[in-house]
Homo-oligomer: A and B are copies of this chain.
Amino acid sequence: MIRIGIAGYGNLGKGVEAAVKNNPDMELVAVFSRRDPDSVKIKTEGVKVYPYDKIADYKDDIDVIINCGGSARDLPESTPAIAENFNVIDSFDTHAKIPEHFANVDNSAKSGNKVAIISVGWDPGMFSLNRLYMNAILPNGNDYTFWGKGVSQGHSDAIRRIEGVIDARQYTVPVESAVESVRNGENPELTTRQKHTRECFVVVEEGADKARIEKEIVTMPNYFADYDTTVNFISLEELQRDHMGIPHGGRVIRSGFTGFDLNTKHTIEYSLNLESNPEFTGSVLAAYARAAYNLSKAGDSGCKTVFDIAPAQLIDKSGEEIRAHML
């Protein structure tokens, strides 16, 4: 059994907890939280919640820590710290800061003789992996990534910060005609606006100035200004009835050319349709925890990404089994 610890028990931590339960070769040993442990109620019977700052005390009891903190403030500090004592997986998703995070985690993991795998999930993660495979196979061509339809937590949070807003959900929606054009091998050049639209469902305080709020949303730089954005004002009851899920997904498409004169067209597409973003991401993290465990047992150490992990390391089956039944 691979002994798993979870650091951080928000939506992602809960998704990991379920994934560990659904993998017969894994067992959850402990959850670590920065909140008062007595206030954190987890689903797995018989497993305890401990204060995050006591995590190092459990270094001999846990094979892999799945670090479920946030990318903005938590993971840059916590993953290197954890890597000194444990094999560790995180879902660091601030693309521009991945090289710096990699270097920090690599230093700690090597000094601790542990394996760390960072930026695991679906984007970064499975989407990155597919982009790499597609580019290796079809070096001449163009990549396209479409997200959604799905809830963007960051955009929902941005709306919530506007004065007069009680709650909000923002859906990122791919433009179907753009997806079709790419699929047909037309290799279009697409602006930000041509690829996605943004749909907002907003609950406001009684008497709030809806016109002002709508304008603040659609003109918000970085988040909405470059998109066609629709704002729907709804009641709190409607929000709670129709918009409590966290679905997401998307697709990576590469349209490429082969042949002596590059005249032959091919399309490769990888798509995800997810009812729960955190449960799916948690399931990816669990699979890579298995890889970290296997690599550590084999004597490896240091920081890795999904690019460095051979697929066979991810699955609870022998080489003979996968060659005979999955190849």
Contact = CB atoms under 8 A, between A and B. Distances in A.
Given A22-B139, A258-B15, A307 B310 contact: yes
Nearest to A324: B99
Which of A267, A276, A283 has the most chain B CB atoms inside 10 A of its CB? A283
Nearest to A253: B271
A16 to B, nearest CB: 10
Given A139-B23, A307-B312, A258 B283 contact: yes
B17 A260 contact: yes
A144 interface: no
Interface stretch (A194-202, A205-213, A220-228, A315-323): A315-323
B287 A264 contact: no
Interface string A130-166: 1111011111100000000000000000000000000
Interface stretch (A75-83, A108-116, A121-129): A121-129
Nearest to A262: B22
Interface in A272-327: 272-276, 279-280, 282-284, 287, 290, 305-312, 314-316, 319-320, 322-324, 326-327
Contact of A310 (B128, B138, B275, B310): B310
A268 interface: yes
A259 B287 contact: no
A219 to B, nearest CB: 31
Contact of A276 (B124, B132, B258, B287): B258
A200 to B, nearest CB: 24
Total copies of this chain within the assembly: 2
Interface residues of A, number: 72
A279 B307 contact: no
A67 interface: no
Contact of A22 (B21, B258, B323): B258
A18 interface: yes
A58 interface: no
A149 to B, nearest CB: 13
Contact of A272 (B266, B306, B319): B266
Interface-central residue, A95, A129, A139, A316, by most chain B CB under 10 Å: A139
A269 interface: yes
B136 A314 contact: yes
A19 interface: yes
A161 to B, nearest CB: 29
A80 to B, nearest CB: 16
A90 to B, nearest CB: 13
Contacts of A314: 132-133, 136-137
A265 interface: yes
A266 B185 CA distance: 27
A102 interface: yes
Given A137-B283, A267-B272, 8 more contacts: A258-B276, A266-B275, A268-B272, A269-B273, A307-B310, A307-B311, A307-B319, A308-B310
11 contacts: A15-B258, A17-B260, A98-B324, A98-B327, A126-B133, A135-B315, A136-B290, A136-B314, A258-B283, A306-B311, A306-B327
